[in-house]
Copies of this chain bind each other. A is one copy, B any other.
Amino acid sequence: MSSHLPNATQPINVGILGATGTVGQRFITLLSAHPWFKIHVLGASPRSAGKRYSEVVKWKQALPIPAGVGDMVVRECRVDDGDVEEGGGKWRGCRVVFSGLDADVAGPIEASFRAADLAVFSNSKNYRRDPHVPLIVPLVNPSHFSIIPQQRALHSPPLQKGFIVTNANCSTTGYVIPLCALEKAFGPIESVLVTTMQAISGAGYPGVSALDIMDNVIPYISGEEEKIEWETLKILGGIAESDAGLKTFDMHAKHPLRVSASCNRVPVIDGHTECVSVRFERRPPPSPQQVREAFAAFTPDCQALGAPSAPRRAIVVHEEADRPQPRLDRYFQDGAGVSVGRVRQCQVLDVKFVVLANNVSIGAATSSIINAEIAVLKGIVG
């Protein structure tokens, strides 16, 4: 390892943009017990700024607000808010800024924090399609961090330390992890058909009305199918380099990959369940048993790097006929891994299986945090 490794005597200050929202609350819960990161500043809307966190948040987690956090004074999501009182210091004193902002405000705020040379790890969709911003699922493609120097260099003015990294949509995250395991073991996938059954917490708070979802399925989530179909290509694809040395995400170009997604909302609180069918380029394709073994053997790079929030087992393979199930499996390893089950022949493509991912953990805040850990370990965070 190296000098980038944090040492116990010097915690890394982090800030949280959108700290009162659903994802923000999850960040707080996870970071309050983090071995490296220390919550230094909480940002929310101007309406909440200046007040104590416990006064303005509608806390919805099963565990209470962590000690010390409830009394923190909320700041605006402006880089210089708090500077006067703190002597140039609140937001600028953070080595990492996590963003749980809603998409309708995330764009300019995250850009302004990057422009202030801060490292931003975002859950929002706003920069996922940016050609210089990596879209990183930490158990899949941390190699895409290699585009950060170019992102800094092309910024105007060029940046020393600032950048934006995004993580994927919660429903994409869950199923690209097993897809990555399959491509690693058996080469390119040719087509994927995925049908999701997504939890209501994926829609934030207040999000889905109880009148809409109780005793019901809603076979539509706005923009979700497009996100899955596009993000999968960026995440599973590589990085190409032009003659001029410019890096671009290749969108799996050498082996065109067709993805068809059907997204449904179901009356489940946490945990997205996805039915996935896959066709490989390789003929004959691997057997269900080989697929099962490849899942179990999958070891993502972030484990080797030593990211403390990485799950011990990236993919848990269930043998019982009726697993994984959200209520029984979503909290395993604090939701940092994914569960796979029912691996079997598909009569139309090659192999089909069921994936369960905790959308509020690996599907959201946990991914951002592991991404930040990887960035620290790789020396990308200053």
Residues of chain A whose beta carbon lies under 8 Å from any beta carbon of chain B: 60-64, 191-193, 195, 197, 200-201, 205-220, 222, 229, 258-260, 262, 264, 266-269, 273, 275, 277, 279, 321-328, 331-332, 341-342, 346-349, 352, 354
Contact = CB atoms under 8 A, between A and B. Distances in A.
Given A61-B328, A215-B268, A217-B266, 9 more contacts: A60-B212, A193-B277, A195-B275, A197-B217, A197-B266, A214-B269, A219-B275, A219-B342, A279-B348
A273 B264 contact: yes
Nearest to A60: B211
A359 to B, nearest CB: 13
A259 to B, nearest CB: 6
A111 to B, nearest CB: 30
Contacts of A216: 268, 325-328
B210 A200 contact: yes
Contact of A321 (B206, B214, B220, B269): B220
A210 B214 contact: yes
A348 B214 contact: no
A207 B209 contact: yes
Contacts of A191: 347-348
A275 B218 CA distance: 12
Contacts of A341: 219
Contacts of A258: 347-348
A195 B206 CA distance: 27
A200 B193 contact: no
Contacts of A222: 321
Q: Which of A63, A211, A218, A349 gathers the greatest number of chain B CB atoms within 10 Å?
A: A211
Given A258-B347, A262-B352, A325 B219 contact: yes
A53 B131 CA distance: 44
